[in-house]
Amino acid sequence: MSDASTGSDAEPDHDHEHHHEGPGYATPQAAIEEGGREKLAYVMSLYVGTDVDAPDFVAVVDLDPESDTYCEIVDRIELPNRGDELHHFGWNACSSSCHMEGLERRHLIVPGQRSSRIHVIDAQDRRNPELETVIEPEEVFEYDLSAPHTVHCIPDGEILISMLGDADGELPGGFLELNENFEIEGRWEPPGEIEMNYDYWYQPRQNVMVSSEWAAPKTYYPGFDLEDVEAGNYGRKLHFWDWEDGTVEQTIDLGEEGLIPLEVRFLHTPESTHGFVGAALSSNIFHFWHDENANGGQGAYRAEKVIDFESREHPDWDMPVPGLTTDILISMDDRYLFGSNWLHGDLWMYDISDPANPRRADSLSVGGTFGEVQEVQGRELNAGPQMIQLSLDGERLYWTTSLFSSWDEQFYPEEGEQGSVMLKADVDPRAGTLELDEDFLVDWGECPAGPARAHEIRWPDGDCTSDVWQ
């Protein structure tokens, strides 16, 4: 049941020439110019940790300002089981396979973080997707893996999923590979290459992949405990892999200032080795790059802290409140780095024209512990900005507010009672500014079965956190 379609030839505008016959866009610039405005969003939606006894679902949100159902959830793909904890998801194919004639960006790969169940949703009808097949947890556990997280389409039509634990929810994690027919191929890497896992990004032209660290599922599932940090149960390392061999070539320990490095991004241009990672607990941003002169001229990756978000005092906390930098992304033109500080209630953008010296452009204070804006259209904002997604042209930034069900309950218990929201800011890339759009609000508190949480966001035709180029 592979995805097939036909496409026209298009030559990329870089030196690494290949024909664009498959899914996605020939270059990042082509994505900006050809992608068009986003008119639908798919959003991971969940009832885990709420009083609602119902399965999680994928929400289809209308983003077309000309539509009668603008800002509404127009469809829900309900999953067959309860308790999955939908979290991150991705496409079966993207721009890294644009050379593959006959391949189509058609299926969403939707894992359950707690259940280790992997759902395949057919989105040929973009507005009304349908569940096609399910890979049950027992099939995943056979490879001594669990807790699926990041889903990336990789070249040649296959799919790679980061797995955060072993079959028992302990360490080590690893990577699970699916073929184009959504069958498990096996582990991508030799067992034992890493202990902790979380997010990853790859640059095939540079033959490199970078992965980050959270913790063992049994550590973060119950919620956050500072004693686990003190015991070294949370990650602080980046791993740089040989992409072709699937082996770790270098590990960088970010130290005490790099605790819990979560979302990791290379620049979109395939020529670059520059990237960024957000260290959530330390609330710092690290820049990493390949230094050709390091290691006696053999070259090596380096990482350096370039942005620091200071903790803030709050009368209800017995310690300074960290920003908790939980998501980052890079604009398609590689000009801006955007991110969220979930506990503080901040959204921010930095000019990264010089990746080693990011320059603050603007920020918004919305929701969270310190947000200046605490309601939109009369709707209380019961949590801070969390997962973010940017339009391909870089002019609209959207976000949701749920981090992980047990962590939500710990820091923002009202979200489980009232549901999440999706909000939007208008971005002026020329001036480097953000402005809250108070006319935009999608409310998961109004779902038919009861209030739900909302997490990762995807566009039907690729976005700033789904597509990679060769």
CATH class of 28-458: mainly beta
- CA atoms of 230 and 251, how far apart (whole Å): 21
Per residue in 30-50, pLDDT (tens digit) is 999 999 999 999 999 999 999
How far apart, in whole angstroms, are the C-alpha atoms of residue 428 and residue 435? Answer: 9
In this prediction, residue 14 carries a pLDDT of 39
The whole-angstrom separation of Cα 334 and Cα 323 is 24
Residue 290: name the closest of 313, 266, 318, 316 by CA: 266
What pLDDT does residue 19 have?
60
Q: Which of 19-23, 204-208, 294-298, 358-362 has the least mean pLDDT?
A: 19-23
For residue 432, is pLDDT > 90?
Answer: yes
pLDDT over 90, % of the chain: 93
Q: Which two tokens stand for residue 195?
A: 């202990």
Mind listing the pLDDT tens digit for each residue in 279-325?
999 999 999 999 999 999 999 999 999 999 999 999 999 999 999 99
Strand 40-46, strand 379-380: pairing: unpaired
pLDDT tens per residue, range 328-345? 999 999 999 999 999 999
- DSSP E strand boundaries for 243-358: 247-253, 261-266, 275-279, 284-291, 300-308, 325-330, 336-341, 346-351
CA distance 54 to 47: 6
**Nearest one of 296, 206, 303 to 251, comparing CA atoms:** 303
Residue range 442-466: mean pLDDT, rounded = 97
pLDDT confidence of 17, banded at 50, 70, 90? Answer: low
Q: Predicted confidence band at 10 (pLDDT cuts at 50, 70, 90)?
A: very low
Do residues 242 and 225 make contact, with C-beta atoms less than 8 angstroms apart? no
Give 157: exposed, middle or buried? Use CB within 10 Å, 0-12, 13-18, 19+. Answer: buried
The predicted-structure confidence for 77-130, as pLDDT tens digits, reads as follows 999 999 999 999 999 999 998 778 889 999 999 999 999 999 999 999 999 999
pLDDT tens for 190-237 read 999 999 999 999 999 999 999 999 999 999 999 999 999 999 999 999
Q: Structure pTM?
A: 0.95
Question: Which pLDDT value is given to residue 101?
Answer: 83
Residue in 167, 151, 159, 237 with CA at minimum distance from that of residue 200: 151
Mention every residue, 6+ apart, whose C-beta is less than 8 A from residue 64.
Answer: 39, 40, 70
Q: What CA–CA distance (Å, rounded) separates 283 from 407?
A: 17
On the question of a cis peptide bond just before residue 23, with omega within 30 degrees of 0, the verdict is no
Where exactly are the structural domains of the chain?
A: 28-458
For residue 6, pLDDT beyond 60: no
Token pair of 276 as six digits = 């960024």
- Given this model, what pLDDT does residue 132 score? 98
